[in-house]
Amino acid sequence: MLGGGICGLAAGFSLAEHGEQVTLLEAQHFLGGLATTLRGETGAGFDFGPHAYHARNQRVLDMFKEIASDGFPARGKNVRIKFRGKYYKYPLEALDIAKSMSPLLAARAFADYTVESLRRRIRPRQLVSAEDWVVQAMGRTLYSLFFGPYTTKVWGVPPANLAASFAQHRIPHISLAKVVVSSLRKGRAKITGTEHRYAPLVVELFYPPRGAGLISQRMAERIKKANSGNEVCTGALATAIEVDGDRVVAVRYREVPRTEQDGQLALLATGTEEKGNPFVAARSQEQRIACDRVVNSIPLPALVDLLGDAVSDEAKAAARFLRFRALTIVGLRVKRPQALPAQSIYFTNKTFNRLSETRNYGGSEVCAPDETILLCDITCDVGDRIWNASADELGRICAAELAEEGFMKESELAESVVLRSTFGYPVYMVGYERAIDTLMKELLRFDNLVTGGRQGLYKYVDMDIASEMGLAMADHFLSGKRKAEAIGNIPYEDRVFA
Ligand SMILES: Cc1cc2nc3c(=O)[nH]c(=O)nc-3n(C[C@H](O)[C@H](O)[C@H](O)COP(=O)(O)OP(=O)(O)OC[C@H]3O[C@@H](n4cnc5c(N)ncnc54)[C@H](O)[C@@H]3O)c2cc1C
């Protein structure tokens, strides 16, 4: 098992419970990857952005509930967005967008939308970029008001550089008529079943009182308990995969130090980064584990690096094309019992993209009752101003912006921490499908190596789907089928592993 995020853990958990011997290698000194909860100076818990569990897959939800059987309460989703100076429900609904506009602007948006709808029917255009897709779906006025600027801020590139499939996957709204109907529905009735599987309309969220990381910790304990031969190794950076012909025969790894320092609770990285690699100085002796099967969940480009000369130059070039947007989460411990009127609030004009309060998700025990934890999600690039700023500096900036909104006083800030990852979001650049196609073909050769998860399959999925991918990889190995037989005819779009 390469990678101890929720995907690798779900795969290991399932294989271990079926009596298979499991060794899991995780580079960090903790488990859970992005789905973890790390402790600050008083023991208060900070997530990589709040990680609330939702599940459309009953098997995954049942697994989460069984693992956290002593407490996994559900709450109705209460997420907002500040748009044009006012707070609205998130995702933004057509009626709210209309309400936020002057009559003149609303008329222009509607005219644009009508023109695009007609054009779509009479003379459909080829949709290459996310910009093309959104403009044809919603019209240029709506695109320029929200989607264009917000996407550029979050992803660091304009939508003209992102693939059309990015928008298609993440934006379920195709017809304004459907959006209006959905706007009028309430609660569960909003779910029509036509939402994209990776961008569902979630109405209920589960969150363990002590923090999201509880599930990962428990899965790791269950893997070890299932068989005394099972090992869950932290601080173990996979450095190479040895291949004989088309079969993986061993994995090499190095022990690496913790990535926490000066208010940074962790820096997730693969060890293959040119910039921002926290393990670059680790020189411990490489160790080798012989194996008969490998489940990978570390980022896909790093997997290709680890395979070295066992893969073609074409595959190496394809892997280099894939890129991730990095992530800096600023965690604030604030001296007041509650701060926000919602679980999370999206902003278009602040340093952070999203602001969240773990307590409002159900994290009643993440910190002392008279304090609260606020998490500010900032997307960035490795080495940029945000990436290099200290926890103190970012804490002060975020606290000042929060005070401006009236959510706290700057004097109430008790602690600032940062959690970083070189891989926060897979960036679907125009042309990435070609690179993926090359990699999918190449990886089909290695029958005893499977890859899945948000990073391992390069899909922008949540914890439930990442776990589903882990379970699917375990099922596959338990089935004894050949990879080509199991997934050879399934397009990437529908694959849960490769
Ligand atoms: C800001 C943010 C908020 C989110 N909020 C939610 C939410 O509310 N609900 C939800 O369901 N999902 C949420 N998600 C998505 C969720 O984080 C992911 O879907 C899920 O955690 C992915 O799990 P994974 O195991 O596939 O990957 P990861 O968690 O990234 O795990 C990969 C693991 O591989 C390890 N690794 C990397 N390289 C090596 C190496 N060379 N050797 C050994 N180990 C290595 C890493 O350290 C890491 O632990 C959020 C994501 C982000 C970025």
Residue pair 72/65 in contact (Cβ under 8 Å)? The answer is yes
pLDDT score for 179:
53
Mean pLDDT of 350-363: 97
- Residue 305 near ligand 1, beta carbon < 6 Å: no
The residue whose C-alpha atom lies closest to atom 15 belonging to ligand 1 is 462
Among 120-129, 183-192, 273-282, 338-347, the minimum mean pLDDT is found in 183-192
- Regarding whether 439 and 305 lie in a shared domain, the answer is yes
Q: Which three-class secondary structure state does DSSP give residue 270? A: coil
Say if 74 falls within a structural domain: no
Closest-lying ligand 1 atom to the alpha carbon of residue 377: 1
Q: Specify burial of residue 177 (Cβ count, 10 A radius: 0-12, 13-18, 19+).
A: exposed
Q: Which three-class secondary structure state does DSSP give residue 315? A: helix
Residue 315 has pLDDT above 90, yes or no: yes
Decide which of 154, 180, 200 is a domain's last residue.
200
Confidence of residue 96 (pLDDT cuts 50, 70, 90): confident
- Residue 217 near ligand 1, beta carbon < 6 Å: no
Residue pair 201/195 in contact (Cβ under 8 Å)? The answer is yes
The residue whose C-alpha atom lies closest to atom 39 belonging to ligand 1 is 270
What's the domain range around 100?
92-200
Closest-lying ligand 1 atom to the alpha carbon of residue 51: 8
- Residue 1 near ligand 1, beta carbon < 6 Å: no
Pocket test for ligand 1, best of 24, 54, 463, 467 (most atoms within 8 A of CB): 463
Closest-lying ligand 1 atom to the alpha carbon of residue 236: 43
- Regarding whether 434 and 289 lie in a shared domain, the answer is yes
Q: How far is the CA of 320 from the centre of ligand 1 (A)?
A: 20
The two three-digit tokens of residue 38, written as one number: 């790390």
Task: Write out pLDDT tens, residues 4-58.
Answer: 999 999 999 999 999 999 999 999 999 999 999 999 999 999 999 999 998 878 9
Q: How far is the CA of 397 from the centre of ligand 1 (A)?
A: 26
- Residue 271 near ligand 1, beta carbon < 6 Å: yes
- Regarding whether 316 and 458 lie in a shared domain, the answer is yes
Confidence of residue 189 (pLDDT cuts 50, 70, 90): low
Pocket test for ligand 1, best of 169, 462, 467, 469 (most atoms within 8 A of CB): 462
The residue whose C-alpha atom lies closest to atom 3 belonging to ligand 1 is 49
- Regarding whether 453 and 316 lie in a shared domain, the answer is yes
pLDDT score for 178:
56
Say if 412 falls within a structural domain: no
Q: Are strands 264-268 and 413-427 parallel, antiparallel or unpaired?
A: parallel
Q: How many alpha carbons fall within 13 Å on the CB side of residue 375?
A: 30
Residue pair 425/327 in contact (Cβ under 8 Å)? The answer is yes
Q: How far is the CA of 64 from the centre of ligand 1 (A)?
A: 16
CA distances from 323 to 267, 297, 328, 386 (A): 17, 16, 16, 18
Task: Write out pLDDT tens, residues 288-311.
Answer: 999 999 999 999 999 999 999 999
Say if 345 falls within a structural domain: no
The residue whose C-alpha atom lies closest to atom 1 belonging to ligand 1 is 49
Closest-lying ligand 1 atom to the alpha carbon of residue 3: 34
Residue pair 416/394 in contact (Cβ under 8 Å)? The answer is yes
Burial code (b: 16+ CB inside 10 Å, e: under 16) for 185-199 equals eeeeebeeeebeeeb
- Regarding whether 309 and 215 lie in a shared domain, the answer is yes
Decide which of 163, 178, 200 is a domain's last residue.
200
Task: Write out pLDDT tens, residues 387-411.
Answer: 999 999 999 999 999 999 999 999 9
Q: How far is the CA of 477 from the centre of ligand 1 (A)?
A: 22
- Regarding whether 250 and 163 lie in a shared domain, the answer is no
- Measured between alpha carbons, how far is 295 from 450 in angstroms, rounded to an integer? 5
- Measured between alpha carbons, how far is 249 from 233 in angstroms, rounded to an integer? 19
Q: How far is the CA of 451 from the centre of ligand 1 (A)?
A: 14
- Regarding whether 112 and 185 lie in a shared domain, the answer is yes
- Regarding whether 284 and 239 lie in a shared domain, the answer is yes
Mean pLDDT of 435-453: 97
Task: Write out pLDDT tens, residues 154-177.
Answer: 898 999 999 998 887 776 554 555
- Regarding whether 227 and 137 lie in a shared domain, the answer is no
Q: How far is the CA of 97 from the centre of ligand 1 (A)?
A: 33
Count CB neighbours of 86 within 10 A.
Answer: 11
204 secondary structure, DSSP code: E
CATH value at residue 471: 3.50.50.60
Say if 413 falls within a structural domain: no
CA triple 26-47-152, angle to 5 deg: 100
- Regarding whether 219 and 167 lie in a shared domain, the answer is no
- Regarding whether 229 and 130 lie in a shared domain, the answer is no
pLDDT score for 326:
98
- Regarding whether 192 and 221 lie in a shared domain, the answer is no
Question: What percent of the chain has pLDDT above 90?
Answer: 76
- Measured between alpha carbons, how far is 377 from 89 in angstroms, rounded to an integer? 19
Count CB neighbours of 484 within 10 A.
Answer: 11
Say if 10 falls within a structural domain: yes
* Amino acid type, 447: D
Q: How far is the CA of 8 from the centre of ligand 1 (A)?
A: 10
Q: How far is the CA of 139 from the centre of ligand 1 (A)?
A: 34
Q: How far is the CA of 29 from the centre of ligand 1 (A)?
A: 15
Say if 235 falls within a structural domain: yes
Question: What percent of the chain has pLDDT above 70?
Answer: 93
Pocket test for ligand 1, best of 9, 29, 36, 51 (most atoms within 8 A of CB): 51
Residue 137 has pLDDT above 90, yes or no: no
Among 36-50, 64-78, 416-430, the minimum mean pLDDT is found in 64-78
Among 24-33, 97-106, 131-140, 228-237, the minimum mean pLDDT is found in 97-106
Residue 198 has pLDDT above 80, yes or no: no
Total count of domains within the chain: 2
- Residue 25 near ligand 1, beta carbon < 6 Å: yes
Q: How far is the CA of 277 from the centre of ligand 1 (A)?
A: 17
Which has more confidence, 72 or 478?
A: 478
- Residue 49 near ligand 1, beta carbon < 6 Å: yes
- Residue 28 near ligand 1, beta carbon < 6 Å: yes
Q: How far is the CA of 136 from the centre of ligand 1 (A)?
A: 33
Task: Write out pLDDT tens, residues 209-244.
Answer: 999 999 999 999 999 999 999 999 999 999 999 999
Residue appearing with tokens 């939800």: 61
Decide which of 172, 200, 228 is a domain's last residue.
200
Average pLDDT in the chain: 92
- Measured between alpha carbons, how far is 207 from 217 in angstroms, rounded to an integer? 14
Which phi and psi angles does 57 have, rounded to 5°? -100, 115
